[in-house]
Protein backbone atom coordinates (compact mmCIF):
# COMPACT_ATOMS: atom_id res chain seq x y z
CA UNK A 1 0.00 0.00 0.00
CA UNK A 2 1.56 3.30 -1.09
CA UNK A 3 1.33 5.65 1.89
CA UNK A 4 3.25 8.64 0.53
CA UNK A 5 3.42 10.07 -3.02
CA UNK A 6 7.23 10.14 -2.77
CA UNK A 7 7.14 6.33 -3.05
CA UNK A 8 6.95 5.08 0.53
CA UNK A 9 5.11 1.77 0.78
CA UNK A 10 3.96 -0.20 3.82
CA UNK A 11 4.11 -3.97 3.56
CA UNK A 12 4.64 -6.96 5.81
CA UNK A 13 8.01 -7.70 7.39
CA UNK A 14 7.79 -11.38 6.40
CA UNK A 15 7.44 -10.32 2.75
CA UNK A 16 10.82 -8.54 2.69
CA UNK A 17 12.67 -10.51 5.37
CA UNK A 18 15.79 -12.06 3.88
CA UNK A 19 15.03 -10.84 0.36
CA UNK A 20 18.05 -9.62 -1.61
CA UNK A 21 16.06 -7.44 -4.02
CA UNK A 22 12.56 -6.04 -3.49
CA UNK A 23 10.59 -5.74 -6.74
CA UNK A 24 7.46 -3.57 -6.90
CA UNK A 25 4.96 -3.51 -9.77
CA UNK A 26 2.32 -0.76 -9.81
CA UNK A 27 -1.19 -1.20 -11.09
CA UNK A 28 -2.78 1.33 -13.43
CA UNK A 29 -3.92 4.37 -11.46
CA UNK A 30 -3.17 8.06 -11.48
CA UNK A 31 -0.76 8.04 -14.39
CA UNK A 32 1.19 4.95 -13.42
CA UNK A 33 0.69 2.24 -16.01
CA UNK A 34 0.23 -1.47 -15.52
CA UNK A 35 3.59 -3.11 -15.33
CA UNK A 36 5.62 -0.14 -14.05
CA UNK A 37 8.43 -1.96 -12.25
CA UNK A 38 10.68 -0.59 -9.54
CA UNK A 39 13.39 -1.92 -7.29
CA UNK A 40 12.59 -0.80 -3.75
CA UNK A 41 14.89 -0.34 -0.81
CA UNK A 42 14.09 -1.27 2.77
CA UNK A 43 13.64 1.80 4.99
CA UNK A 44 12.41 0.28 8.27
CA UNK A 45 11.04 -2.98 9.60
CA UNK A 46 9.57 -4.43 12.76
CA UNK A 47 9.36 -8.19 13.15
CA UNK A 48 7.07 -8.00 16.19
CA UNK A 49 4.29 -6.15 14.34
CA UNK A 50 5.18 -7.77 10.98
CA UNK A 51 5.41 -4.37 9.30
CA UNK A 52 8.00 -2.88 6.96
CA UNK A 53 8.45 0.38 5.07
CA UNK A 54 10.03 0.25 1.63
CA UNK A 55 10.64 3.03 -0.89
CA UNK A 56 10.62 3.21 -4.66
CA UNK A 57 12.24 6.03 -6.60
CA UNK A 58 9.71 6.99 -9.27
CA UNK A 59 10.27 9.81 -11.76
CA UNK A 60 7.06 11.47 -10.56
CA UNK A 61 4.79 11.27 -7.56
CA UNK A 62 2.82 8.05 -7.26
CA UNK A 63 -0.81 7.87 -6.08
CA UNK A 64 -0.98 7.22 -2.34
CA UNK A 65 -3.83 6.05 -0.18
CA UNK A 66 -5.36 8.64 2.14
CA UNK A 67 -5.00 7.42 5.70
CA UNK A 68 -7.61 8.36 8.23
CA UNK A 69 -7.92 8.27 11.98
CA UNK A 70 -10.42 6.34 14.05
CA UNK A 71 -10.82 9.54 16.11
CA UNK A 72 -12.76 11.20 13.29
CA UNK A 73 -14.49 8.09 11.95
CA UNK A 74 -18.22 8.63 11.50
CA UNK A 75 -20.89 5.91 11.41
CA UNK A 76 -21.53 4.78 7.86
CA UNK A 77 -18.04 5.57 6.53
CA UNK A 78 -16.31 2.72 4.80
CA UNK A 79 -13.19 1.24 6.36
CA UNK A 80 -10.69 -1.29 5.04
CA UNK A 81 -8.24 -3.65 6.65
CA UNK A 82 -5.35 -5.11 4.68
CA UNK A 83 -3.39 -8.13 5.78
CA UNK A 84 -3.29 -11.89 5.70
CA UNK A 85 -5.87 -12.91 8.25
CA UNK A 86 -5.83 -16.62 9.11
CA UNK A 87 -2.91 -17.13 6.73
CA UNK A 88 -4.81 -16.13 3.57
CA UNK A 89 -2.63 -14.08 1.22
CA UNK A 90 -3.71 -10.68 -0.09
CA UNK A 91 -6.71 -10.26 2.22
CA UNK A 92 -8.63 -6.99 2.02
CA UNK A 93 -11.74 -6.47 4.11
CA UNK A 94 -14.13 -3.60 3.41
CA UNK A 95 -17.07 -2.74 5.58
CA UNK A 96 -19.24 0.09 6.85
CA UNK A 97 -17.93 1.59 10.08
CA UNK A 98 -21.44 1.40 11.54
CA UNK A 99 -21.23 -2.40 11.47
CA UNK A 100 -17.66 -2.36 12.79
CA UNK A 101 -18.57 -0.06 15.67
CA UNK A 102 -21.60 -2.17 16.59
CA UNK A 103 -19.50 -5.36 16.70
CA UNK A 104 -16.71 -3.77 18.73
CA UNK A 105 -18.99 -2.60 21.54
Please list the pLDDT of the chain residue by residue as tens digits (105 residues): 899 999 999 988 888 999 999 999 887 655 555 568 899 999 999 888 888 999 999 888 888 888 777 777 777 777 776 665 556 665 666 666 555 444 454
For residues 52 and 46, is the Cβ–Cβ distance under 8 A?
A: yes
pLDDT value at residue 91: 62
Look at phi and psi of residue 20 and say left if phi exceeds 0, alpha if psi is from -120 to 50, else beta: alpha
User: Residue 12, SS3?
Assistant: coil
Amino acid sequence: MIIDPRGYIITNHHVVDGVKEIQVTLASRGGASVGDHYTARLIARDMETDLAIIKIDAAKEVPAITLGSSADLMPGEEVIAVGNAYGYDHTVTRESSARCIARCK
